[in-house]
């Protein structure tokens, strides 16, 4: 199929088309029926295939998100999109190769885009993977659900709390299925740890320790010519215009860990990078998935020079309305430790990582799950106790939800609240004083300086267009 590289769709035109209903999905694409609600095809439908497009085709997409989808026969990756045309073409070759191997014959069914707004105009696409840098998560998800696409989005949910709220409201209003990439919810040890805590196996929960990996600072980097294959202005998106240098963006020669992960312009660093996973797992066990802390304080070291400027060594703390005290730091083992009045439980990924270049503390490799008493870990959750949702694989759970139209295991509001908690810890790092948070209003109490951190100015023409709230 031919590449779509001819026209550029402005955000204003795209949103106008969306509002007029131009972006409704259709049932059939050449030879590959899509999944829409079961009532459309009936139980004797010739196929159950969901047409998926990948937006952002770098490290996390190639190593995690696209493989997460192409393993299922009821899904078809039919399109790829990246602002780096070399990466978009490489993704096309990768996916075509996978399907050629699956079918045992030549395959060339993947369409290439370099502007996601053009991709969303394709009525044959049912769902999208959003595997972009953090600052593009919320804008693309908002546009996608307004275009009536279901979405699997990488965490963290947003760059700011205000963007996250806009995104969660847009998803709720749309009725689309959105899965946040908090895949620890689909890991057996994290679910079991949460069930043990919720069912009182360590007594009354008192303290939660969240250990994160760290990120090093870097050197000053010279200005470089923008590669012809990269739409750098759009890559910057809503954030300020700054000069191009390769270590600010992503490697041109390979798919190793990109430099933007260590630039505050595009994300907050490990506090949201891994914090979105571990704080989400903590919230699951604490039964605080739809709220947040009420007090936050702490401190952090920030680089005084160099391109990479996210936090270094840090320790932040928070209190929740239920009395649980959370401590988040990169000076302890990577994982989550729950301490109660009658014991403790520690849970981690062990030596598992999302991709080969994903940082993880190797000292955790021996224990995915540990406890103060081994008997805690053999406890059976009874039929009348709290049982959490079981998901064997995160992308599979998303695809199942698309078919059933039931909420996935990591819905948007939950992902927003986890990300918000991370960003509250980041605000405490920045202000270096105690902050008081209202989880219902999603505002700091009597603190105009702190409330300025809830949003950032958005650069035209990429600013998110406001629509009526779903609240």
**Distances from the Cα of 178 to the Cα of 253, 323, 359, 405, angstroms:** 32, 31, 27, 10
Burial class, 442, CB count within 10 angstroms (exposed 0-12 / middle 13-18 / buried 19+): middle
Tokens of 34: 């899509």
**More reliable by pLDDT, 25 or 380:** 380
Report helix, strand and coil shares of the chain as percent, to nearest 5: 35, 15, 50
Q: How far apart are CA 122 and CA 28, in angstroms?
A: 12
Sequence-distant (6+) residues with CB within 8 A of 279 are 210, 326, 328, 418, 421, 422
Q: How many other CB atoms are found less than 10 A from the CB of residue 102?
A: 12
Would you say residue 396 has pLDDT above 70?
yes
Contact between residue 101 and residue 75 where contact means Cβ atoms under 8 Å apart:
no
What pLDDT sits at residue 465? 79
What is the DSSP code string of 349-400? -TT--SSTT----GGGTT-SEEESSGGGGG----TTS--PPP-S-HHHHHHH
Best CA proximity match to 93, nearest among 227, 3, 228 = 3
pLDDT digits (tens, 9 = 90+) for 314-338: 999 999 999 999 999 999 999 999 9
Q: How far apart are CA 275 and CA 23, in angstroms?
A: 35
Average predicted confidence (pLDDT) for the chain: 89
pLDDT digits (tens, 9 = 90+) for 22-44: 433 332 222 333 333 333 333 33
Residue with tokens 């780096």: 84
Tokens of 460: 């035209």
What pLDDT sits at residue 365? 45
Residue with tokens 């999109």: 81
Q: How far apart are CA 450 and CA 297, in angstroms?
A: 12
Residues 185-380+413-470: name the CATH superfamily.
Dihydrodipicolinate Reductase; domain 2 (3.30.360.10)
Would you say residue 471 has pLDDT above 70?
no
Would you say residue 452 has pLDDT above 90?
yes
What pLDDT sits at residue 216? 87
pLDDT digits (tens, 9 = 90+) for 73-108: 999 999 999 999 999 999 999 999 999 999 999 999
Q: How far apart are CA 253 and CA 358, in angstroms?
A: 18
What is the DSSP code string of 33-58? EPP--HHHH-TT-S--PEEEEEE--S
Range list for CATH 3.40.50.720 in the chain: 42-183
What pLDDT sits at residue 9? 55
Q: Give the percent of the chain with pLDDT over 70.
A: 86
Q: What is the mean pLDDT of residues 123-133?
A: 98
pLDDT digits (tens, 9 = 90+) for 229-258: 999 999 999 999 999 999 999 999 999 999
Which contacts qualify for 344-348: CB closer than 8 Å, 24 or more apart? 344/202, 344/371, 344/372, 345/193, 345/196, 345/197, 345/201, 345/202, 345/369, 345/370, 345/371, 345/372, 345/376, 345/377, 346/370, 346/371, 347/189, 347/190, 347/193, 347/281
What is the DSSP code string of 422-445? HHHHHHHHHH-S-EEEETTTTEET
> 306: left (phi > 0), else alpha (psi -120 to 50), else beta?
left
Q: How far apart are CA 166 and CA 143, in angstroms?
A: 11
Q: How far apart are CA 190 and CA 336, in angstroms?
A: 9
Best CA proximity match to 395, nearest among 167, 153, 188 = 153
Q: How many other CB atoms are found less than 10 A from the CB of residue 341?
A: 10
Q: How far apart are CA 416 and CA 396, in angstroms?
A: 21
What pLDDT sits at residue 15? 52
pLDDT digits (tens, 9 = 90+) for 178-191: 999 999 999 999 99
Q: How far apart are CA 163 and CA 156, in angstroms?
A: 12
SS3 label, residue 125: coil
Tokens of 80: 């790829």
Q: What is the mean pLDDT of residues 285-291?
A: 98
Q: How far apart are CA 242 and CA 289, in angstroms?
A: 37
Range list for CATH 3.30.360.10 in the chain: 185-380+413-470
Q: What is the mean pLDDT of residues 373-381?
A: 96
**More reliable by pLDDT, 174 or 12:** 174
Q: How far apart are CA 372 and CA 346, in angstroms?
A: 9
- Global pTM reads 0.89
Give the pairing of strands 295-300 and 314-319.
antiparallel
What CATH number should be reported for the domain whose range is 42-183?
3.40.50.720
Residue with tokens 């302890």: 332
24: DSSP letter: -
Angle made by CA atoms 130, 21, 121, in degrees to the nearest 5: 40
Contact between residue 248 and residue 259 where contact means Cβ atoms under 8 Å apart:
yes
């Amino acid at each position: 199929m031919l590449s779509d590289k001819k026209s550029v769709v402005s955000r204003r035109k795209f949103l106008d088309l969306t509002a007029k209903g131009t972006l409704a999905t259709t049932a059939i694409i050449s030879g590959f029926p899509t999944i829409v609600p079961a009532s459309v095809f009936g139980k004797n439908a010739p196929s159950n295939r969901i047409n998926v497009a990948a937006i952002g085709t770098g490290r996390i997409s190639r190593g995690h998100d696209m493989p997460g989808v192409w393993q299922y026969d009821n899904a078809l990756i039919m399109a790829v999109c990246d602002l780096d045309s070399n990466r978009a073409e490489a993704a096309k070759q990768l996916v075509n190769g996978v399907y050629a191997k699956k079918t045992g014959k030549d395959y060339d069914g993947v369409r290439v885009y370099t502007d996601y707004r053009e991709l969303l105009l394709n009525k044959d696409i049912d769902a999208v993977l959003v595997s972009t840098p953090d600052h593009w998560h919320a804008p693309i998800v908002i546009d996608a659900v307004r275009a009536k696409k279901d979405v699997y989005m990488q965490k963290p949910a947003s760059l700011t709390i205000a963007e996250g709220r806009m995104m969660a409201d847009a998803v709720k209003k749309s009725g689309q299925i959105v899965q946040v990439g908090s895949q620890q919810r689909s890991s057996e040890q994290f679910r079991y740890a949460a069930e043990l805590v919720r069912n009182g196996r360590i007594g009354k929960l008192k303290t939660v320790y969240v250990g994160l990996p760290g990120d090093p600072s870097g050197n000053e980097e010279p200005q470089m010519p923008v590669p012809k294959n990269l739409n750098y202005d759009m890559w910057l998106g809503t954030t300020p215009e700054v000069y191009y240098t390769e270590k600010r963006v992503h490697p041109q020669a390979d798919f190793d860990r990109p430099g933007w992960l260590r630039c505050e312009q595009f994300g907050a660093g490990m506090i949201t990078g891994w914090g979105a996973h571990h704080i989400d797992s903590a919230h699951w066990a604490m039964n605080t998935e739809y709220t947040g802390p009420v007090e936050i304080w702490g401190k952090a070291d920030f680089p005084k020079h160099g391109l990479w400027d996210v936090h270094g060594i840090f320790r932040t703390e928070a209190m929740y309305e239920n009395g649980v005290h959370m401590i988040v730091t990169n000076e302890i083992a990577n994982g989550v430790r729950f301490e109660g009045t009658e014991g403790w439980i520690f849970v981690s990924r062990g030596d598992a990582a999302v991709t080969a270049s994903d940082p993880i503390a190797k000292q955790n490799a021996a224990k995915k799950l540990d406890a103060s008493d081994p008997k805690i870990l053999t406890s059976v959750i009874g039929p009348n106790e709290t049982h959490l949702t079981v998901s064997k694989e995160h992308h599979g759970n998303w695809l199942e939800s698309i078919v059933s139209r039931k909420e996935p295991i990591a819905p948007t509001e939950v992902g927003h609240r986890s990300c918000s908690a991370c960003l509250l810890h980041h605000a405490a790092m920045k202000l270096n004083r105690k902050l008081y948070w209202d989880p219902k209003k999603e505002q700091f109490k009597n603190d105009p300086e702190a409330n300025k951190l809830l949003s950032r100015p958005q650069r035209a023409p990429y600013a998110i267009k406001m629509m009526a709230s779903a609240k």
